[in-house]
Chains A and B, each alone.
Chain A
Amino acid sequence: MADNKMLIKFFIASESIFFLMLILAYVNFKGTVVDGPTAESSLNPYVTGIFSLFLLASSLTVWLAGKSLRAQNHTMMKVWLLVTIMLGAIFIFGQGREWAGLIEQNITISRNVFGTTFFTLTGFHGFHVLIGLLMLSILLGLALFGDFKGPKSDGVEVISIYWHFVDGVWIVVYSVIYVWAFFL
């Protein structure tokens, strides 16, 4: 059935609007901060950039997992799923580290509009990554019990579409927050 893939695509369209609003809120308040921290004064684009590479790489590995599925290479599919989960987890670790660093300097969601919009936007993205990791883990678990022998599986394909989306959102978020603040 093509239904599942159609569902996830429309779902992603819907989710895109959700993120668009969070981004609009960030953009709306960018440059309005009169005192307190801003992106420029408190973020490190290089460290976050490196952690971002892990997330980007995970898009590639989830694609490879799908490719292994189509080739009915069960072992490699499991390996690529595991690698994807690890890469995603590293990204989340990086985000946790960044958040902890900011909170240590008393930069929080209630500090000013930068804090508010930054933590909300990256928080909702991180939440989506966590959901993705959960779903990928379920996939891996089921695969370990012998599911998904290929060549087709809506489960694997739908979750990988979602994972690409989460990745794509991050590219936009990184551009809006970090690239805009430091490289433009």
Chain B
Amino acid sequence: MSSRIPLVPENTEPLPSLKGNQGMLAWVSSVDHKQIGLMYLIITGVFFVIGGLEALLMRIQLAQPEMDFISPEVYNQLFTMHGTTMIFFVVMPFLIGIGVYLVPLMIGARDMAFPRLNALSFWLVVFGGILIYYSFLTQSGAPDMGWFSYAPLSEKPFSLNKGPTYWALGLLATGIGSIASGLNNIVTILTLRTAGMTMRRIPLFVWMILVTSFLIIFVFPIIASAFAMMLLDRLLDATFFTPAHGGSAILWQHFFWGFGHPEVYILILPAFGIISEVIPVFSRKPIFGYEFVAGSTVAIGLLSVGVWGHHMFAVGLGDVANLYFSLASMLIAIPTGVKVLNWIATMWGGKIIFATPMLFATAFIIEFVMGGITGVAIASAPIDWVVTDSYFIVAHFHYVLYGGSMFAIFAGIYYWFPKFTGRMMSETLGKWHFWLTVIGFNMTFFIQHFLGVMGMPRRIYTYQDFPYWGSMNLLSTIGAVVLALSVLVFMWNIHVSLRRGKKAGDNPWNAWTLEWAAASPPAVHNFDLVPPVRGRRPLWDLAHPEQPDEPNAKVVD
């Protein structure tokens, strides 16, 4: 490294300590991947609470028929902001952030390839979030056209308020940040691996981040251009998406979902990565079928860009298009199913330890499969025509997003918290958190499948007193309260564990990937000496020289 003069205070103590480091300025000006990673996690935690409160307000309003706890206008703003927040400011930046923290450690690097770019990505996400939330302070309030912002509702004259403009600007900023982090990850993974860390040996989490990053750099430009067009429509009276002036509202749908469907894989692939790290360690077995997990991810990545039309069955694209999009969507179930089989085969016959990360990982499989099954069902155009825009859809995507991504995120937090902080999280509180989450989550969302089939539309601020609707919705709302409780337990767990958690040591779970060879929390420079890598489980090879994973591997130093 060339000599450089620090312009800003640099840390001398391992993170996340603020001791001896020069306070806030050291954080704000940081270009260290661990520090930026932690900032991502903190900021997404804040957004998770905000998005969760928005959800709770909606659920309270829906608890009984014909309530007027919140007005229809505010309800519209709430579901728009809730969906946007959870997707763009919680799940996505969390997964990017934990990737930024872990990828360099997992491949034995000192930092990301472009540390400053890394900081830029993070701050763009933060400012994008601020921009969107600022809209609440404007006279006309927050955006209220739903998270996919269909034209012409999002256009003049139907939305004369400024909300949608803030929405598009904020997401544009965030999206540019995401593209930059995707580029950064790709170059890091392709060029900064330590000696011996071949592409066939990188942890599966790193594979998932790599495929996700490719998806990001190829699909975010789609939505960036659509946001630009939407802004031009709104600010300069261009006519892209206004049918009244020759534009096309359907074009927006194609652009949005051309991005939107791959986006759901951006939200789930890194989650698969977390699960693929946790399950082997807590089953005390190497992952079953590494190549299949990695390969099927590449297949998912490729397929995911060709199925956007399943969000548009109600448009009337024609029989041929509907048939194609149905079949192509169902095809994705195959590589996804392959992974589920791999995880189960890894657990099969293993000495399973049900610590909190493993509990969440196991539940992830079940809840995610549940969401996957409804997903395959609505990939069939005729079924979708029946349930589209009903609570069945709300149930489906919360099963994959909460039951999938969020469960994996919790698994990841419990698993890597010791590495991030040097302390273990409380197992007792962890189990409370886990069971409250499972109960609250299923109570909130399972019933919504039935509500949907019974005809309850999504995005309505209230409903009439139809038979059972009141009690079913009440159950769902009680579930949401339990879920809120689970989040409180989780936050309390973080709070006490940070202060009084058991000291973790370098490798509390007896795991095998390189990040566990670094100190907990890792030194500012990550490794004094990167252990030799002769297989997929460097720390196993180190501990069992007589029984290496790849007995014939060439030694590279």
Contacts and interface: CB of A to CB of B under 8 A. Distances in A.
Interface of A: 2-3, 6-7, 10-11, 13-18, 21-22, 25, 28-29, 32-34, 109-110, 112-113, 115-117, 119-120, 124
Contacts of A115: 238
Given A7-B114, A34-B246, A120-B238, A18 B190 contact: no
28 contacts: A3-B113, A6-B190, A6-B191, A7-B183, A7-B184, A10-B186, A10-B187, A11-B183, A13-B217, A14-B218, A17-B218, A17-B219, A17-B222, A18-B225, A21-B226, A25-B251, A28-B251, A29-B246, A29-B247, A109-B236, A109-B237, A109-B238, A110-B239, A112-B239, A113-B246, A119-B238, A120-B228, A120-B240
A30 to B, nearest CB: 12
A3 to B, nearest CB: 5
A21 to B, nearest CB: 4
Contacts of A29: 246-248
B255 interface: yes
Interface residues of B, number: 33
Contacts of B218: 13-14, 17
Interface string B222-240: 1011101100100011111
B236 to A, nearest CB: 5
A21 B246 contact: no
Contacts of A109: 232, 236-238
B247 A21 contact: no
Contacts of B220: 14
Nearest to B237: A110
Given A14-B217, A17-B219, A116-B232, 8 more contacts: A7-B113, A7-B114, A7-B184, A11-B183, A11-B217, A28-B251, A34-B246, A109-B237
A3 B237 CA distance: 42
A113 B239 CA distance: 6
A32 B238 CA distance: 16
A14 B183 contact: yes
A42 B248 CA distance: 23
B229 A120 contact: yes
A124 B226 CA distance: 13
A62 to B, nearest CB: 23
| Interface of chain B, main secondary structure | helix
Give 6 nearest A-B pairs by CB, closest first. A110-B237, A18-B221, A21-B225, A17-B221, A116-B238, A14-B217
Interface in B109-163: 113-114
B255 A21 contact: yes
A10 B191 CA distance: 13
A22 B237 CA distance: 17
Nearest to B188: A3
A43 B90 CA distance: 47
Contacts of A3: 113-114, 187, 191
Nearest to B251: A28
B179 interface: yes
Contacts of A28: 248, 251
A119 B237 CA distance: 12
B245 interface: yes
B212 to A, nearest CB: 14
A22 B225 CA distance: 7
B217 A116 contact: no
Given A14-B221, A21-B226, A113-B246, A120 B183 contact: no
A110 B156 CA distance: 13
Interface in B193-226: 217-222, 224-226
A11 B183 CA distance: 7
A109 B229 CA distance: 11
Contacts of B226: 21
B218 to A, nearest CB: 6
A33 B246 contact: yes
A16 B221 CA distance: 8
A132 to B, nearest CB: 18
Contacts of A16: 221
Given A17-B218, A25-B240, A112 B245 contact: yes
Given A11-B183, A120-B228, A21 B239 contact: no
B236 A21 contact: no
A32 B225 contact: no
Contacts of B246: 29, 32-34, 112-113
Nearest to A8: B183
B45 to A, nearest CB: 29
Contact of B191 (A2, A18, A22, A25): A2
A104 to B, nearest CB: 18
